[in-house]
Amino acid sequence: MYETIYHRPSSVDEAVALFGKGSDSKYLAGGHTLIPVMKQRLAAPSDVIDLGKIKELIGIEASGDTLTIKAATTYFDIMQSADVKKSIPAIAYLTSVLGDPAVRYRGTIGGSIANNDPAADFPAALVSLGATVKTNKRSIAADDFFKGLFTTALEDGEIITQVSFPVPAKAGYEKMRHPASRFALTGVFVTKTKAGDVRVAATGASQNGVMRVPVIETALKANWSAGALDSVKVSDSGMLADIHGSAAYRANLVKVMAQRAVTAAG
């Protein structure tokens, strides 16, 4: 790791100010994305601004039709939250199969989505549920937030403050874990909104990161059941392919995980 300067601000405003002062600052929340990259010397931030202890960034609120998770809330706290379990249990489940227990104590929803790893779980939940990402500057719809591999709509120095999820009629998540990294080899989040719309997002599958799966959405809109996908064929064009899964295999997983997610959603 290269030498850096560590800061622990106590407010979002202070964090933004510190960020501006550094020549190449980076925010850190749980650190489970940035620190491994720094250890490999693939990132060399002049300043590391720790958001993990900023009180205004931690907490979960459920109010009627919306579940709001503040950005520096850890996976563990999300997984344990009675509000999450009650309003969108699929998010609690997704968090329970994300990383390992030690990672769940440190990793945060904000850190996950800001990194936008193509195999991360949370981007699929945000896109499927039609969530809104709120930053210190603006609100961004999930569909507009994720911009391909490791890329988001965030501007330099912008801080995610919270994510708001509309509470759906039904939602489910299933994934096939990568045998080595334990990220999602492919994961699919399915949502039936209260308005009756169906949104399906897959992670770990596309070369462009999290993606909607229109062919599955269409089939499920007509018939919300796992069986409705039996005859659906997901194209393997544009799918990731590596030693752990060919494009055809991942395309198959998108369908199979979608079926299982629908079953889990009820």
Nearest distance in Å: CB 71, another protein: 17
Residue position matching structure tokens 């961004």: 140
Nearer to another protein, 25 or 132 (CB): 25
First to last CA, the chain: 47
By CB under 8 A, name the binding residues for another protein: 1-6, 8, 28, 31-32, 35-36, 38-41, 48, 50, 52, 76, 99-103, 105-106, 176, 179-182, 185, 243-246, 248-249, 252-253, 256
160-166: strand order across its sheet: 60-63, 66-70, 160-166, 132-135, 139-141
> How far is 103 from 178, CA to CA, in rounded Å?
16
Amino acid (one-letter) located at 131? A
Nearer to another protein, 142 or 220 (CB): 220
Nearest distance in Å: CB 205, another protein: 13
Closest of 213, 259, 220 to residue 235, by C-alpha: 213
Closest of 46, 161, 177 to residue 114, by C-alpha: 161
Q: Show Cβ contacts of residue 33 under 8 Å, excluding neighbours closer than 6 positions.
A: 107, 111, 112, 115, 117
Nearest distance in Å: CB 126, another protein: 23
Nearest distance in Å: CB 72, another protein: 12
Nearer to another protein, 134 or 250 (CB): 250
Nearer to another protein, 54 or 133 (CB): 54
Nearer to another protein, 76 or 165 (CB): 76
Closest of 142, 237, 236 to residue 189, by C-alpha: 142
Nearest distance in Å: CB 195, another protein: 31
> How far is 101 from 92, CA to CA, in rounded Å?
14
Nearest distance in Å: CB 52, another protein: 7
Nearer to another protein, 139 or 181 (CB): 181
